[in-house]
A = this chain, B = another copy of it.
Amino acid sequence: MKPRPSGRTGDQLRPVRITRKFTRHAEGSVLVEFGDTRVLCTASVEETVPGFLRNSGSGWVTAEYGMLPRATHTRARREAATGKQGGRTLEIQRLIGRALRAVVDLKALGERTITIDCDVLQADGGTRTASITGGYVALVDAVNTLIQKRVLRESPIHGQVAAVSVGIWAGVPVLDLDYVEDSDAETDMNVVMNNGGGFIEVQGTAEGHAFRREELDALLNLAANGIGQLLAKQMEALNED
């Protein structure tokens, strides 16, 4: 079995760091690091909802995602200059939004919106799973701010959510792929789960050749295990201070 470029075992996460209050203005502001992947997740509360929810009594949780132009090996064009967000960006921010909404009671949130902005400062694979994992912590901080300000009496968040990537690399299932592995993987899967062991989202894509049911099973096991660790990291970060 070929060793992973990073020297990790197949079921090993990269070092995970979750730094709260990374910036000062947002109601929640978290720098999440999965190894060299670094994403700044801020949660902003606005006392308004999108048109389709107006006068519904229901709130909204949504996400936006961006990469700084030189977060990657070669400079990518700035989407603001291009004049539109690419398909990959839209796909990722839709995923982050769905994942976080899965643990929020939007009625209990009331007619307000929490926007999670996930901006990648440095990319090394797994930016979307890091965004979900860090975005959850920012969301909790923002909700706690609302509770402290007595805007809300109790938290509308009814579960915990985290995400990790898994893939078949050099013929074997591995957890939390970095950029080098990701570029080379035969299969790539992003898994989002809650703290009850339920699946929120499973997105698997064959890159090289189609994957078989037993490979899928092995990947899901790896993911469940990794997500367990990420959920613990989130709790640890939230218990600080």
Give the B-binding residues of A (Cβ under 8 A).
23-26, 29, 36, 38, 40, 42, 44, 46, 64, 66, 68-75, 78-91, 93-94, 98, 102, 115, 117, 119, 121-123, 159, 189, 193-194, 196-206, 209-213, 216, 220
Contacts and interface: CB of A to CB of B under 8 A. Distances in A.
Given A70-B44, A197-B212, A84 B87 contact: no
Contacts of A87: 87, 90-91, 93-94
Contacts of A70: 23, 25-26, 29, 42, 44, 117
A72 B25 contact: yes
B69 A64 contact: yes
A189 B69 CA distance: 29
A8 B136 CA distance: 38
23 contacts: A24-B36, A25-B70, A25-B72, A25-B122, A26-B70, A29-B70, A40-B121, A78-B80, A80-B82, A80-B84, A87-B91, A90-B90, A91-B94, A194-B210, A198-B206, A198-B212, A199-B210, A199-B211, A199-B213, A201-B204, A202-B202, A202-B203, A203-B204
